[in-house]
Structure 1
Amino acid sequence: MTTYLAGSDHTRYVLYFNNDDLKWIADDSSLDIESIFHKHPVIHIPERRLDYISSIIQKISYEHNGVDSLSLSFIHSYFHELILFILRCQMYEDNVITKMDTGNELIQKVIEYIIENYHNDVTMAATAELFNMSESSLSKKFKAFTGFRFREYLINVRTHAAADLLVNTSLSITEIADKCGFADSNTMGGTFKKIMGEAPGSYRKNH
């Protein structure tokens, strides 16, 4: 259990496996699995799907006690299901950030507003007023339809924009922080490391 940027409790699981454990996925899908998993060291699981992840881990834990002669096979099966789901979250992470099928036209417009204005001083109060909503209503609807808190989503958008600039431009970290709406480079550095798993300078070198 650790302290998360958004202020809520969360659990971080560390999985160890080698490339051979993923070979069957590559054979079935023709995907470059290693490059996908190394794109971001930390995988974000949408909050609304955490119960799904927890249920798989509980099944693995149960079978790990050696229920019967099939337990090892069940563990392998559940592990494969877990990896596939995590892989899907990783593959579509950018799509989750840039576009969401929320089933709510108003919230989709709020998302588009954030994406177009993340580099500015975007606040929930001003956004709620812009869309003729109360802060409370916006907060509840945004979380219900996206699985993210408003500020959490905004920070994710800013961080991914910063990651793109780090890799594709020669701008300094201070310049990137300013362009992406962060208060300063130190704020960006701390946030970036929490979300992407490494400091901005390291991320630029490794990508």
Structure 2
Amino acid sequence: MNSTMSEYFNINKLIREAAFRMDETHSHDCYELVYLFSGECNILVSHTIYRMVPGTLVIIPPGEIHKTSYGSNDKVRQQRTALRFSIKDTDWLCSALGKDFVKDNLTAGIIEVPDKRKEYIENLITRMIYENQMPDELSMGMVKTLFQEFMIFVLRCKLYGDTSAHEIDAQNSTIQDVATYVYNNYDKQIYLDDVAKQFSISRSYLSKKFKQTTGFGFKEYLLNVRIKEACRLLLETNHSITDIAFACGFNDSNYFGDAFRRIKGISPNKYRHNRDVV
């Protein structure tokens, strides 16, 4: 860990076999940038499905639920880098460009690194990983310098490069629509049968395809969306926990408390009053 950076700062390179599956749901109180060196996969961030291929980089803002999934054709071993950091780690950038500008350009999305720049960015990432292991007393300063260069590159790509998501097939497009529908209607009573009818597909097909495409079971995704909104309301409002539970689509405050603890590892009340432990 680099002591000149925030407690969240970390970068590592991961190698996943084709058979690997991410069982747990991910959500972090920091930014995460994922760059793919090799292999292919889908990644769901919030309610949008992105197709990752070598040379793509996905931005995951703080608090956004996300999960990777693999199709039947994704047989190649996957190599990727995950970089986590706090907005505090970009204070130098916020001072120069404004905090709102930086946040507005670090929203969820995918960046396709130009072919002629892949070697540059992959070398930059490799050097950052090496220096973050702190081989000598100068490494802390080098990590900060490399991170600054990396962030400028990301913002340039976001502002001037190709940030369009890769095309998804018609079947996955339907699942994308379902995910968006659930995300926008989490406060209502949503059932798999009703959603399947609304999108003119069978219940069994929707259940299987949603899991295959997003990595989430249908109920699991709905629950995580509701908990995400509950977290926001706990921190930003003075509403009672019972009112928040009902506002997020739960019809039982006790079940809400149990579900919240299961996903966040802490009670709603403790989350509200001691956010540092989350």
- Aligning the two structures, in what range does the TM-score lie when normalised by the shorter sequence? 0.5 to 0.7
- Determine the structure 1 residue equivalent to 2:110: none
- CA–CA separation in structure 2 for the residues paired with 1:185 and 1:88: 25
Post-superposition Cα deviations, 1:86-122, rounded to whole Å, max 9, x if no partner, equal 89897459x7234332632111110110011110000
- Structure 2 counterparts to residues 104-183 of structure 1, below 5 A: 104-183=172-251
Q: How many matched pairs?
A: 138
**TM-score, normalisation: structure 2:** 0.44
1:96 maps to a residue whose letter is V
Pick closer, same or farther for the CA change 1:163–1:35 going to 2, 3 Å.
farther
- Which secondary structure state, in structure 2, belongs to the residue aligned with residue 174 of structure 1? helix
1:158 maps to a residue whose letter is R
Task: Tell me which stretches of 4 or more aligned residues in structure 1 moved more than 2 Å.
Answer: 32-36, 48-54, 86-93, 95-100
Pick closer, same or farther for the CA change 1:160–1:132 going to 2, 3 Å.
same
- Asked if residue 97 in structure 1 is aligned to residue 46 in structure 2, the reply is yes
- Asked if residue 204 in structure 1 is aligned to residue 272 in structure 2, the reply is yes
Q: CA deviation at 1:53?
A: 7.6
Post-superposition Cα deviations, 1:5-59, rounded to whole Å, max 9, x if no partner, equal xxxxxxxxxxxxxxxxx22xx76xx5x33489xxxxxxxxxxx9982789xxxxx
- Determine the structure 2 residue equivalent to 1:184: 252
- Which secondary structure state, in structure 2, belongs to the residue aligned with residue 121 of structure 1? coil
Q: CA deviation at 1:143?
A: 0.5
Task: Work out whether residues 167 and 204 of structure 1, in 8 Å CA contact, stay in contact via their aligned partners in 2.
Answer: yes
Pick closer, same or farther for the CA change 1:147–1:190 going to 2, 3 Å.
same
- Asked if residue 33 in structure 1 is aligned to residue 10 in structure 2, the reply is no
Task: Work out whether residues 139 and 150 of structure 1, in 8 Å CA contact, stay in contact via their aligned partners in 2.
Answer: yes
- CA–CA separation in structure 1 for the residues paired with 2:248 and 2:240: 12
Bigger proportion of residues as strand: 2
2:241 maps to a residue whose letter is I
Q: Provide the aligned C-alpha RMSD in A.
A: 3.3
Instruction: Could you tell me which runs of 5 or more consecutive residues in structure 2 were left unpaired when the two chains were aligned.
Output: 11-16, 34-43, 52-167
2:244 maps to a residue whose letter is I
Q: CA deviation at 1:183?
A: 1.7
Task: Work out whether residues 143 and 150 of structure 1, in 8 Å CA contact, stay in contact via their aligned partners in 2.
Answer: yes
Pick closer, same or farther for the CA change 1:174–1:202 going to 2, 3 Å.
same
Pick closer, same or farther for the CA change 1:150–1:49 going to 2, 3 Å.
farther
- CA–CA separation in structure 2 for the residues paired with 1:158 and 1:203: 15
- Which secondary structure state, in structure 2, belongs to the residue aligned with residue 155 of structure 1? helix
- CA–CA separation in structure 2 for the residues paired with 1:160 and 1:119: 12
Task: Work out whether residues 118 and 158 of structure 1, in 8 Å CA contact, stay in contact via their aligned partners in 2.
Answer: yes
Task: Work out whether residues 97 and 156 of structure 1, in 8 Å CA contact, stay in contact via their aligned partners in 2.
Answer: no
- CA–CA separation in structure 2 for the residues paired with 1:170 and 1:35: 31
Pick closer, same or farther for the CA change 1:178–1:88 going to 2, 3 Å.
closer
Sequence identity of aligned pairs in percent? Answer: 37
- Determine the structure 1 residue equivalent to 2:20: 51
Instruction: Could you tell me which runs of 5 or more consecutive residues in structure 1 were left unpaired when the two chains were aligned.
Output: 1-21, 37-47, 55-85
- Which secondary structure state, in structure 2, belongs to the residue aligned with residue 101 of structure 1? strand
- Which secondary structure state, in structure 2, belongs to the residue aligned with residue 33 of structure 1? coil
- CA–CA separation in structure 2 for the residues paired with 1:181 and 1:111: 16
1:101 maps to a residue whose letter is Y
